[in-house]
Amino acid sequence: MICFDFDGVISDSLHMWGGVLNKTAARFGIDLPDDVRPFQRLRPLTFETLGKALGVDPVAFSDAMAAEAASNAAIPPLVQGMRGVLDSLAGQEPLVIVSSSRRAVIERFLVEHDLSHAFSDVIGSDVYPTKVEVLRTLLPAGARIMVGDAASDMEAARAVGIEAIGVLWGWQDADMLVDAHQLVQTPADLLGVLRASEGLSLHTH
């Protein structure tokens, strides 16, 4: 089983979430600078952590972010190159999304991009408290790799003893991904690493 983070790895959603953040912050009386990179240093990369950093109630802020995103008509684009990765992996072994976003937001994206078939499960932050806990529950089902773009993804993978692969096209830079076993620059590089990983034989298209 390969576990994927969602935002920044599959969904090119940084711009969308930036807009959601600005609207949500304004509701809480917070005026964010235009050049701020609010997600860059968050550890863990969750909206609760962001709310705490902004000095507001973390749960209320996270709920407000989720509500704003659910009402947002814009669905982010798919990260360029990830469709080929997912098409190659689909059917080879189970793929699961493990995300800090809410499940409904993720499923809406997957339907829009015709990718629902690729994943055996979608686990959002409304289902589990932390990524460490959800990865631990997936170990008996064969979870062996976590693909993510944040320090907290790499830390969660290491905490449960599975391989951590960090992608460099996501929300956090390489200096935040020091716990990754491997870093990949592009989706094509990711597919190469997964092809080479033990027990996985992929067909090509």
Whole-angstrom Cα distance, residue 203 to residue 13?
Answer: 29
Angle between helices 14-27 and 58-71 (to 10 degrees): 120
Active site residue 5: yes
CB 24 within 8 A of CB 68: yes
Q: Is the dihedral of CA 39, 44, 46, 51 positive or negative?
A: negative
Structure tokens at 68: 């704003």
* Residue from 5, 7, 149, 153 carrying the catalytic annotation: 5
Q: Is the dihedral of CA 154, 136, 109, 87 positive or negative?
A: positive
Residue in this structure with the two tokens 């969602």, named with its chain if needed: 6
Q: Active-site residue numbers?
A: 5
